[in-house]
Structure 1
Amino acid sequence: MVLYRLASRLGVSNRKLSGVWAGPASAFGGTSAFVHRSCSSASSSLARQNGHDAHEVDLMHHHSGVSGDLYAIIYANGTAHKDTASTASPSSLVSEPRPLPTPLLNPFPMTPATVNNFAVMKRLNHPMRKQLANEILFRPLQHITSPARISMFALLHRQGEGEGRVDSMDGRKAEEAVGIDPIKAVTSLCRRYAIPEPAVGQRYFHADVGPFQLRWERSEEFSSFVFIQSPEHYIHPFDTPASCPQFNVSLDNAFETSVFSCLPSDWIETLPSSIICAAHVTVVKGDEGDPPPSQRQLREMFAHNYVVGSYMHSKSARVFTDCRIHSDGFGRILVQDLASRSVGRLIHQMLELDVYRILALLGLPVATEVTGRVDAIQAQQHHILKTINRIQSPQEESKLLQELTEMVLSSEQMFAQAQIRFSATNQYYQILEERLQHLREERIDGIQPLGSFVHYRMNPAIRTCQSAEYRAEELCKSLQRTADLLQTRVFVELEESKASRMSEMQKNSVMKLQLSEAVEGLSFICLSYYTAQLLNTIFKALVSLGVLSISADCCMAIALPFVIGSVWAGLRLCKQRMRTHASRLFRKLEQERSTPIKAAAKAGQGQAGGKGDRNHL
C-alpha cells in the first residue's frame, strides 16, 4: 500500500502501478507488513545517512505529507515519474539511487556550522524547553475525509498507571482490571504489524498499520484507542484482511460492520477489562442540498432508539447519535459530511464529547454514597447535641468528646476522598461544555439538538455531585463547631475545678501561716522562760559563793528584759537569714531556668542578624 501512495505522489495511476506489481505476494512474501517493515528500516538508515533523524522524518510527514516509510523509496527514486514508473520492476526501484532535490525533503541542509550551532544551543537550552515547546503539538488532529469508519474505546487506568483516583469512599480502588497495560497493548499491536513502537513516556502515538490507522492518546486518568478506515486502505486486495469486508459506506449499511472487527481477536483478548467508553463513528459523504436521513433510516441505524442530532460547524456536517450502548458494546455516531472537506476536527470533538460525558458521570455513584454517609453522620450529630445538656459527670463528657472526634476524622477523610472525584467531575463537565460550544450547533427540523439533550440529561447528575460535595463540606464544618463547643464546655468546667482547688489551697495556706505564727510566738515564750531559769540558777550559785552581794531574785529581775530582748533579736535574725537564703536559692533556680531560653533567643537574633547582613550584602 505504501507503493500506491508513492504512485499518487508521483502522478502514477493505481492501475499502471498494479500492472507493474503483478506479483507482489511472491516478491515480498505475500504480506504488506514486509513492505512496511522494509520501508521503515530503509527510511531510518537513509535518514541518518542524509542528515535527518527520526524527529525530522516525522516533521516531514506532518508538514509535507510525505511519511517516513516513503522516505527510502522516494529518496532512491527522486526523479521517477509516470512513464518510468509504469515500466519499472521491483528491483529497479531500489537499485539506482538518485537523490531528490534538497528543497523537497531537506530545505535546511546540515552544514558544519549548523551542527556546531545545534550543539551550542543544546548546551544552552533550559531542561524543560523542548517539553514545553512540544506541549501545544501534543495532540495533532487526524486528517479524515468521507467516507470513513472509526472505532474508539477508552480504558481507565488501573492502580499505579495514573494518579490512581479513588472510586469508592472506603478507600478502595476500582476493581483490578484483567489484562495488559494500555501502553503494552499499543506496543504489542505495533510489533504485530511491524511498525515503530511508541517511545517510553510518550503520551500520543499514531501510525498507519495497514488495514486501518491507529491513534493512541494517554491522559491522566484514561487512555483512548482510535482506529480509522478510509478507502485508501483498500487500494490493493492483499492489504485487506480476510476478516475485513470491502470498504463500502452508505446510509443503508452505516453500522453493519466496523473497524473493530478488523482487529486481531487474540490482541483484543489481552486488553484490560476497564473500558469506560466505546463508540463506532460512520462518516458518509453528502452534499449541502441533500436532505437529512429519514426517521425510518435513523430508527434502523440506531435500533429504534431516540435519536438526537444537529448541524455542526456552520452546517458543514450533520451528526446523529442516540447516546446508548448497543448490543456489540459500542455507541453509534453518524456523521454526514456536507462540505467535502476534512472532518477530522469534528470526529475528534465528538469522540471527546462521548468520553468526557461518561467520565463526568463517574462522580455520580460517589455522590450517592457520600449522601448516604452524610445522612448517617448528621443523625449521630443530632443525638450528640441532645446528649450534651444531659451530661452529669466528666467521664461522660470525655466519652462524648472522643466519639465526636472520631466522627470529625471520619467525615474529613470521606470529604478528602470524595473531593478528588468531584473535582474531576467538574473539570470534565467544563471540558464537555467547551466542546459543545466549539461544535457550533444548528438545529435540524424535527430532531432535538445534541447540546440541549446533553445539558438536559446531565445537569441533574452534575448538580447532585455538587450538592453532595457541598453537604459533605458543611458537615465537616458543623462537626468541627460541635467539637469546639464540647471542648469549650469541658475547658470551662476544668477551669472552674482549678479555681475551686486554688481557693482551697489558699485557705490552707492562710491557716498554715497562722499556725506558724502561733508556733513562733510559743517558741519565743519558751526560749525566754528557759533562758531566764538558766540565768536564775547561775545567779543563785554566785550568791552562795559570795560573788554577788545582792539576792538572786534582784539579779533576775534586772536581767529579764535583756533576756527577752536577746531572744527576740535572735529569732528575728534567724528568720531574716532564712529568708535571704531562700531568695538566693530562688534567684539561682530562675537563672538556671532562663539561661537556655536566653541562649535560644540570642541564637535566633544572631540568625536574623545574619540574614539581615546577607540581605544587606
Structure 2
Amino acid sequence: MVAERRFTEHALRPQVVGEMQLRREPALTVPARMIQLVRLLDADARTAELAALPAMPGDLRPGHDSRHRETRLGADIHLHWEQHSEASTVTLVRGGSDPVGWDFPDAADARAAIAWAEYLPGAVIRAVRLAIVADEGAAAELVASAGFPAGQLVTCHVGGGARIWTDFRIHDDGYGRMVVAANGLLPGDLARCVQRLQELGNYRNLALLGLPPARTAWADLDWLEQALEQVGRALAAGEVRDDVLLGRLIQLSADILSIDSGCAYRMSATAAYGRIVASRLAELDVVPIAGHRSLADFTERRLWPAVRTCAALTDRLALLNGRAAQFTALLRTRIETHIENQNGRLLASMDRSARMQLQLQQLVEGLSTVAVSYYALGLLSYPLKAVEKHWPRLSATLLLGLAMPFVALLVFHLIHGAKNRLVSRDRPAERAT
C-alpha cells in the first residue's frame, strides 16, 4: 500500500535524487572480466544512440531512466549504459569461475553484448579491458601475457590494498589493458576501487582532449601577440593614420575572439575534468611500489602538464583580449580627442564668422539708413522748392537742412523696427524645432 503524501513535492526532486543514484558500482565477483568503452557524442550520434537502446541485449533491470540502463544476460553477465554531459559509457562485467584471460569470451550472450557495445554510434575516446583476480599470485600469469613493456609498466597499490598493473597503451585489439588483484578487499570496496580507477582513466582522456587544440591555438597566439606589439608601437609613434590602426585592432580582436570561442569550452572542460581526476586520485590513496612507476607518478608526469598548458592558454587569451581592448580604448580616446579639437576649432571659426556677419549687418544697416534718408530728403526737396516759388521768403534749403536729422532718425527707427519684426518671427520657429 502506497502512503499518501501530505506535502507538496518539488518538481525536480525525483531528478535530483535519481542523479545521486546514477554512479552505481558494478557488481563484482572475483575472478571477473570487465570491458568498458567511452564515446564522445554529437547531437546526431546521441539521437542514434538513444534509438539503439531498445536493442540493448539482456533483461532490463529495474530503476532505469533516460540516462542509465542495466541489463543482465544470464547469471554472471551485466551490461551497463550511462549517459554523461558529452559522452556515454558502456560497461560489460562478467564474473564466475571461468578462467580470466585476454581472449574475448566464447559465450554467445557475452559476444552479443560486446558486439552491441562496439557498434554503438559515437567516437570512442577510451576502451579498456580489466582482468580482476583474487591476489597477486593469480595476477602474475595475466601480467606476463598482457604484453606490458617493462619500461612502460605502471604498478602500485590502490584503494587500501589492491594492486594494479597497466601500461596505458592501446594494444592490437584496440583496447587498453589493466590487471587488478583484490588482495582481500571486500566486494563492495573492490567495486568502488574499480569504479574510481575507471572514472580516473575516463576523465583523464577527456581532459587530454584539450591539449591538441591548445597547442594549435598557442602557435596562432604567438603571431597575434607579435601583431599586437607592432600595433602598439605604431600607436605610440603616431606614424600611421588612426583609422588604419583601428581597422588593424578590430581585425586582431576578431581573430582573438574567434580562437577564444573555438576552444573556450574545451579548455574549461579540461580544467573541470582535471579536478575530477585529482579527486579520484586522492580517493584511491595510491601507495607506490619500489622500483616501479605508480599511478600518481604517471598522472603527475603526463596529465598535469597538459592541464596546465590548457590553463596557460586560457590565461594568455584573457591577457591578449585585455591588451587589445586597452589599445582600442587608447586609440578611440585619441580619435575622440582629435574630433573634439576639430569641433572646437570649427565652433571658434563659426563664432568669428557670426561676429563678422553681425558687424557687416550693422554696417549695412547704417549705410541703408544714410541712403534711404538721402533719397527721402531728395523727394521732400521737390514740394519744398515748389512752395518756395510761391512764397520767396520761404527757404527750401533751410527747411531741408532742419528736416534732415529728423528724417534720418525716422528712417533708422523704421529699418530697425522692420529688422526686429523679422527676428521675432524666426524665434518661434526655432523653438518649435
- Equivalent residue runs for 1:514-533 within 5 Å: 514-533=359-378
Q: Is the 8 A contact 1:150 1:281 kept in 2?
A: yes
**What amino acid sits opposite 2:416 in the alignment?**
R
**Post-superposition offset of 1:515:** 1.5
The letter for the 1-side match of 2:129 is H
TM-score by length of 1: 0.64
Match of 2:80 in 1: 215
After superposition, residues 384-395 of structure 1 pair within 5 angstroms as 384-388=231-235
Q: What aligned pairs does 1:356-505 form with structure 2 within 5 A after superposition?
A: 356-388=203-235, 396-505=241-350
SS in 1 for 2:56: helix
Displacement, 1:299? Answer: 4.7
RMSD of aligned Cα (Å) = 2.8
Cα offsets for 1:528-569 (capped at 9, x unmatched): 1111111111211223344x8512122222322221221222
**Letter aligned with residue 133 of structure 1:** V
Which AA in structure 1 matches 2:194?
I
Tell me which protein shows more strand as a share of its residues.
2
Q: Aligned AA for 1:138? A: L
* AA matched with 2:419: K
Is 1:130 the counterpart of 2:14? The answer is: yes
Q: What is aligned with 1:248?
A: 99
Task: Return the offset for 1:126.
Answer: 2.6
Closer, same or farther in 2 for the Cα pair 1:333/1:340, shift >3 Å? same
| CA distance, structure 2, for counterparts of residue 388 and residue 125 of structure 1 | 63
Q: Is the 8 A contact 2:79 2:93 kept in 1?
A: yes
Aligned to 1:56: none
Return the match for 1:308 from 154, 170, 173.
154
Cα drift, residue 415 of structure 1: 1.1
Aligned: 1:263 with 2:111? yes
The structural deviation recorded for 1:326 is 1.0
For 2:186, give the aligned amino acid.
R
Which residue of structure 1 lines up, in the alignment, with residue 405 of structure 2? 561
State the 1:338 CA deviation. Answer: 1.6
Question: Quick check: 1:156–1:274 contact (8 Å CA) kept in 2?
Answer: yes
Alpha-carbon contact 2:40-2:122 (below 8 Å) kept: no
Shift of 1:375: 1.0
Measured after TM superposition, the shift of residue 442 of structure 1 is 2.0
| Cα deviation, residue 312, structure 1 | 2.1
Task: Give the secondary structure class of the aligned counterpart of 1:550.
Answer: coil
Q: Distance in 2 between matches of 1:403 and 1:415?
A: 18
Contact 1:204-1:217 within 8 A present in 2 as well: yes
Give the whole-Å Cα distance in 2 for the aligned partners of 1:202 and 1:125. Answer: 21
The residue type equivalent to 1:401 in the other structure is L
In structure 2, runs of 5+ residues without a counterpart are none
Amino acid paired to 2:220: R
* 1:277 CA displacement: 0.1
Q: What do the CA deviations read for 1:469-493 (whole angstroms, capped 9, x no partner)?
A: 1111111111111222222222222
Q: Which amino acid aligns with 2:73?
A: V
The answer (yes or no) to whether the contact 1:157–1:223 under 8 Å persists in 2 is yes
Deviation at 1:133, TM superposition (A): 2.5
8 Å contact 1:258–1:280 — kept in the other structure? no
Letter in structure 2 aligned against 1:553: T
The secondary structure found in structure 1 opposite 2:339 is: helix
Q: Which residue type is aligned with residue 186 of structure 1? A: L
1:454 to partner: Cα distance: 1.1
Say whether 1:573 aligns with 2:417: yes
Give the structure 1 partner of residue 431 of structure 2.
587
1:460-516 CA-to-partner distances (Å, cap 9, x unmatched) read 111111111111111111111122222222222223333333333233223222221
Structure 1 position 428, deviation (Å)? 0.4
Q: CA deviation at 1:347?
A: 1.4
Distance in 2, matches of 1:274 and 1:260, equals 27
Question: What SS does structure 1 have at the residue aligned with 2:93?
Answer: strand
> Secondary structure at the residue paired with 1:275?
strand
Do the aligned partners of 1:151 and 1:258 also contact (CA within 8 Å) in 2? no
TM-fit CA distance, 1:258: 5.4
Q: For the residues of structure 1 that align with 2:119 and 2:104, how far apart are their CA atoms?
A: 22
The alignment partner of 1:448 has SS state of coil
In the alignment, the residues of structure 2 paired with residue 356 and residue 223 of structure 1 have an alpha-carbon distance, to the nearest angstrom, of 12
Say if 1:139 and 1:204, in contact at 8 Å, map to a contact too.
Answer: no
| Secondary structure in structure 1 of the residue aligned to 2:428 | helix
The 2-side partners of 1:269 and 1:348 are apart by: 20
Q: Is the 8 A contact 1:227 1:259 kept in 2?
A: no
Say whether 1:336 aligns with 2:181.
yes
Q: How does 1:507-518 map to 2 (within 5 A)?
A: 507-518=352-363
Distance 1:341 1:272 in 2: 36
Which whole-Å deviations, capped at 9, do the CAs of 1:110-167 have from their partners, x for residues lacking one?
5xxx4xx25x66xx433222222322122222221211000001110124567xxxxx
Distance 2:60 2:236 in 1: 76
> Cα–Cα, structure 1 residues 446 and 198, in superposed 2: closer, same or farther, change >3 Å?
same
- Taking the aligned partners of 1:260 and 1:574, their CA distance within structure 2 comes to 116
Rounded Cα–Cα distance in structure 2 between residues aligned with 1:272 and 1:138: 22
Aligned mates of 2:142, 2:71 — CA distance in 1: 34
Q: Are 2:59 and 2:72, in contact at CA under 8 Å, matched by a contact in 1?
A: no
- 135-144 vs 145-154, which deviates more? 135-144
Separation of aligned partners in 2, 1:432 and 1:336? 22
Secondary structure of 1:181's counterpart equals helix
- Whether the 8 Å contact between 2:81 and 2:91 is mirrored in structure 1 is yes
The whole-number CA distance in structure 2 between the counterparts of 1:338 and 1:303 is 21
**SS of the counterpart of 2:24?**
coil
Deviations 1:557-587 (A, max 9, x none): 2322221221222233333333433333333
Residue 268 of structure 1 deviates from its aligned partner by 5.7
Secondary structure in 2 matching 1:131: helix
Per-residue deviation, residues 379-436 of structure 1 (Å, max 9, x unmatched) = 222332343466667xx43233122202112211211331211110011010001001
Instruction: Name the residue aligned to 1:28.
Output: none
Whichever residue aligns with residue 551 of structure 1, its letter is S
Greater relative CO (CA pairs within 8 A, separation 6+): 2
CA distance in 1, matches of 2:175, 2:347: 79
Q: Taking every aligned residue pair, what percent have the same amino acid on both sides? A: 26
Change (3 A) 1:346 1:160: same
Report the CA distance shift for 1:501/1:340 in structure 2 as closer, same or farther (over 3 A): closer
User: Quick one: structure 1 residues 389 and 136, their matched pair in 2 at CA, closer, same or farther if it must change by over 3 Å?
Assistant: closer
Aligned to 1:607: none
Give 1:141's aligned amino acid: E
1:280 partnered with 2:129: yes
Question: 1:483 and 1:379, CA in 2 relative to 1: closer, same or farther beyond 3 A?
Answer: same
* Separation in 1, partners of 2:202, 2:347: 70
Compared CA separation, residues 473 and 142, structure 1 to 2 (3 A): same
- Match of 1:126, SS state, is coil
Aligned in 2, Cα 1:197/1:291: closer, same or farther, shift over 3 Å?
Answer: closer
